[in-house]
Amino acid sequence: MLIRKGYKFRLKLRDGEKQKFSQFAGCCRFAWNKALAVQDERFSNDNAKLLSKTKLLNLLPEWKHESAFLKEVHSQILQQSLIDLDRAYQNFFRRMKKIRGGDFSEGEDPGYPRFKKKFLHDSFRFPQGFRLENRHVYLPRLGWFRFYKSREIEGKPKNVTVTRNGKHWDISVQVEQEIPDPCPVREPSTGLDMGISRFYTCSDGTFSEPLNAFRSLEKKLAREQRKLSRKNKFSRNWKKQKAKVNKLHRKIRDVRLDYLHKHSTALVRRYGRVYAEDLQVKNMSGSAKGTMENPGKNVKAKSGLNKSILDQGWSEFMRQLEYKLAWLGGELVRISPHHTSQACSVCGHISKNNRKSQSRFVCEACGLEINADHNAAINIQTLGQRGLACEANRTSGRQQELSRNGDRVPGLAA
Ligand SMILES: [Zn+2]
């Protein structure tokens, strides 16, 4: 099985070198935004079709003529920006089609390509011409640079992306690697209930605590954002504060990603097949809404921000579970939620009143007393095993497109 995965490292740069990197990123941003303006105008005008990738690339020589500074950077990276934009549009159209087909919940963002902002989206990519030797990387027109090599790179490097990360610059190396086809490992299986007071609960009763570090960081972020709003925009102090806010954003993102990776890896090491509710459907269902409004004692899922972070966490977690299970020969099976939180896992009696509180489940019919999330996880497993799985969402054969830059292979890489 051929898989793609990414390695990320921090570059060791001197200040003078950083300037050159900013210039490269700036030119790519310029090309992206210019091309996006062209496509966006055509998109807003119903009669015009978007320019093809080739036609878009053919505009570059003219732009270089108009804006001489574009000639100072490697043309390959400018081309790559336009190719990336073309792909962003393809992805957008694909998601739109899905939304129209009813595969996504309403309000789902199809991800229309956006204009890039300075500092925030600074990056450029080399599809070829780069070289990797030991702890050094060669970037065309920029030279050799040392990077902090935290782990060995396995597989064949396909491209290198350079991204600004606060004061630093990182490289992500995407590689293609042939790994042995996994033997199907479908046992043991578990049902998985995603929640708020517990991040997930398995049908054997084990569960994970929610990411608490997150909430204190979030509070801090809100505080720093309030401070930012009181400062004069673009003043010296505003810029300082803005940098602080951005740093916190990155920290939250890193902490969350790390948490999700740790837990998804732990799960795929324990189980071969995981049954989980289809989150899009779960989000729309009344029971989930009720859960959001009456979260557990320690949880305040009040703000929209909090909720969206939570949602993101769930779907990213599912995405990780799906590709990690697939790489190891297991599978993620999505089931449509069907009274999973109201039905008794022993006698099957369905009633709203079974749910005494967020965490307590007491069956009116048979008297079963159990943690509510645990009860739901058992129901999910039962539904999954009965074969009520949404067949269309099976994972087999989709491993390729599931993986993304920065993905980690459980068991294959430390
Ligand atoms: Zn019962």
Give the model's pLDDT for residue 299: 40
Q: Does residue 290 register a pLDDT over 60? A: no
Rounded to the nearest whole angstrom, what is the distance from the C-alpha of residue 345 to the centroid of ligand 1?
A: 7
Confidence of residue 144 (pLDDT cuts 50, 70, 90): very high
Rounded to the nearest whole angstrom, what is the distance from the C-alpha of residue 263 to the centroid of ligand 1?
A: 31
One of 278, 331, 373, 407 is an active-site residue; which one? 373
Summarised one tens digit per residue, pLDDT across range 202-220 is 999 999 987 766 778 888 9
Q: What is the CATH number of domain 189-212+256-402?
A: 3.30.420
Nearest-angstrom CA–CA distance, 164 and 123 = 6
Give the model's pLDDT for residue 8: 93
Q: Does residue 38 register a pLDDT over 90? A: yes
Confidence of residue 311 (pLDDT cuts 50, 70, 90): low
Q: Tell me the domain boundaries of the chain.
A: 2-178, 189-212+256-402
Rounded to the nearest whole angstrom, what is the distance from the C-alpha of residue 207 to the centroid of ligand 1?
A: 22
Nearest-angstrom CA–CA distance, 410 and 264 = 9
Summarised one tens digit per residue, pLDDT across range 77-122 is 999 999 999 999 998 888 787 767 655 554 556 788 999 988 778 9
Q: What is the pTM of this model?
A: 0.67
Average pLDDT score over residue span 142-169? 93
Rounded to the nearest whole angstrom, what is the distance from the C-alpha of residue 349 to the centroid of ligand 1?
A: 5
> Which residues pair with residue 205 across a beta bridge?
none
The burial class, CB within 10 Å (0-12 / 13-18 / 19+), for 19 is exposed
One of 86, 193, 322, 331 is an active-site residue; which one? 193
Task: Confirm whether 86 is a catalytic residue.
Answer: no
Handedness of CA 128, 130, 133, 136 (dihedral sign): negative
Q: Which helix H or strand E contains 80, and what residues bound it?
A: helix 75-100
Q: What do you get for the CA distance between the two ends of the chain, in Å?
A: 20
Task: Confirm whether 277 is a catalytic residue.
Answer: yes
The answer to whether 346 touches 203, Cβ cutoff 8 Å, is no
Summarised one tens digit per residue, pLDDT across range 339-377 is 888 999 999 899 888 888 888 999 999 999 999 999 999
Task: Confirm whether 373 is a catalytic residue.
Answer: yes
Q: Does residue 408 register a pLDDT over 70? A: no
The answer to whether 324 touches 410, Cβ cutoff 8 Å, is yes
DSSP of 296-362, one letter per residue?
-TT----SHHHHHHHHHHHHHHHHHHHHHHHHTT-EEEEE---STTTB-TTT--B-GGGB-SSSEEE
Give the model's pLDDT for residue 400: 38
